[in-house]
Structure 1
Amino acid sequence: MTRMTTTASSIATVGLEAAPSRLSARLDTRPEARRVLDLARDTFIEGYRVDMGLLAARLGVDRTSVFRWVGNRDALLSEVLWSLAVPTLVQAEHATEHLAGAERVADLMTTFTRDLIVADYFRTFLRREPARALRLLTTAESPIQRRFVATVEWLVTRELGDAPFHGTITPEELAYLLVRVSESLTYADLITGDEPSPARARTAFRHLLRVG
């Protein structure tokens, strides 16, 4: 994996460093793009559909301006979703500060997955736009999965070193497996029709990471 990370990377920054987007690159320098993102994020959290026309109307501009500032709806939704994932990851990081090694990775992944499963606004989005949600969250069509894998790889390397489990697997390979487990259990209702289960997620992560 080619990563754009620094020694100052943290769980809040490493994903974006690894997979920036055209929109993410504009957010710190284009206040109009930031305004659209902030309004879209608030709309999403309130449980409403992020509609480009309605955003434009609330900002007092035309749709063309909104598309010029942030790109298409998928690009905007991707950044909204990642902007919500980051504080969730940070919260999970803080909740597991008393742990170390594989146990910390397992508990952090469990906490993050559980928080996604119980977030009402997130489940509302999944139910309303299941096909788009899975495409943006679990495929290469958006940077979200690449950012998630990069973040977990950073976490694995920090907690387990460059050669986890005596070098039988690389940090990148282990991170990808952990992310796919998280996805399959978070979106179980969309993929298999099963109820998402934090308990099953905990069992899977601990088994994969060899935590007794």
Structure 2
Amino acid sequence: MPAARPPPALTARRKKPATRLQQALDQGASPRVTPLDLFELAQRRWLQGERVDVGALAAELGIGRATAFRWVGSRDGLLGEILWAQCDAQMRRAAAAHQGYGHGPARVGAICAHGVRAILRSAPLRQFLREDQEQALRLLTSKQGPVQARAIARVRELLDAEVAHGALTLALPANTLAYLIVRVCESFLYADIISDQRVDLGDAALAVELLLSGRVAATAGRVARKRRG
């Protein structure tokens, strides 16, 4: 999987970036060694399946350990940015892949299912989950990491776009639905870890579509046909 950089669109929303790394991600490249260089090196190491050691990264870049930690805040903060970069890249690719899919609940469901499958194919992520489940889930699915909140914001943008097209009527506030959709996707992503369950990833699209449309009979019919097929 190619290295990905968190887009400025979401980070720019922060009124006051919490770390030097977040500031650098907002501002872009610089001729000197910057927090962005540290992030990109850490991301390459993570994608190669190596442990992210902030001290070792600092030494490789020729900066002090204290400087590196001042830039990123903590190792968890650095890992959180790496995880979000990967998830966000997959979410964007999923949306692009379904650009001509139409509009409404079916499109939102298809994008979410595509993203779930793509994220699950990430070998570095699966390795991280195997080696440190507690830390991985904390950074991916709670307020201790940036991934969940930013994923909710990304889904909210998707819902707002569908509403603007006149293709979607929301029965609940957009923020609530975006949160529920992300939690549904997390349930499919981490079912084996959280509850030792095996799930059919194809059901992710149907679950999201049902949540948005409320058309139980129609969706149930599609599920039945899918099972027979």
Same fold (TM over 0.5): yes
Equivalent pairs: percent with the same residue? Answer: 34
Structure 2 CA distance for partners of 1:144 and 1:162, relative to 1, 3 Å:
farther
Number of residue pairs matched by the alignment: 201
Q: Please, which runs of 5 or more residues in structure 2 have no aligned partner?
A: 1-6, 220-229
2:109 is the counterpart of 1:103 = no
Q: Please, which runs of 5 or more residues in structure 1 have no aligned partner?
A: 1-11
Structure 2 CA distance for partners of 1:133 and 1:91, relative to 1, 3 Å:
same
For residues 37-58 of structure 1, give each alpha carbon's deviation from its aligned partner in whole angstroms, at most 9, with x where no partner exists: 0011111111111111221232
Offset of residue 83 of structure 1: 1.4
Of the candidates 180, 184, 192, which is equivalent to residue 189 of structure 1? 192
Distance (Å, rounded) in 2 between the aligned partners of 1:164 and 1:179: 20
Structure 2 CA distance for partners of 1:164 and 1:180, relative to 1, 3 Å:
farther
Report which of the two structures shows the higher radius of gyration computed on alpha carbons: 2
User: What's the C-alpha RMSD, in Å, of the aligned pairs?
Assistant: 2.4
Structure 2 CA distance for partners of 1:130 and 1:175, relative to 1, 3 Å:
same
Contact conserved, 2:88 with 2:151, CA < 8 A, in 1?
A: no
Offset of residue 145 of structure 1: 1.2
Distance (Å, rounded) in 1 between the aligned partners of 2:205 and 2:168: 19
Structure 2 CA distance for partners of 1:42 and 1:196, relative to 1, 3 Å:
farther
Offset of residue 94 of structure 1: 1.1
Structure 2 CA distance for partners of 1:201 and 1:166, relative to 1, 3 Å:
closer
Stretch deviating more after TM superposition (88-97 or 156-165): 156-165
Of the candidates 142, 146, 154, which is equivalent to residue 157 of structure 2? 154
2:11 is the counterpart of 1:16 = yes
Offset of residue 161 of structure 1: 4.3
Q: TM-score, normalised to structure 1's length?
A: 0.84
For residues 30-89 of structure 1, give each alpha carbon's deviation from its aligned partner in whole angstroms, at most 9, with x where no partner exists: 752001100111111111111112212322333222112222101111111111122211
> Relative contact order (C-alpha < 8 Å, sep 6+): which is higher?
1
Q: What corresponds to 1:9 in structure 2?
A: none
Whichever residue aligns with residue 32 of structure 1, its letter is T
Distance (Å, rounded) in 2 between the aligned partners of 1:186 and 1:55: 30
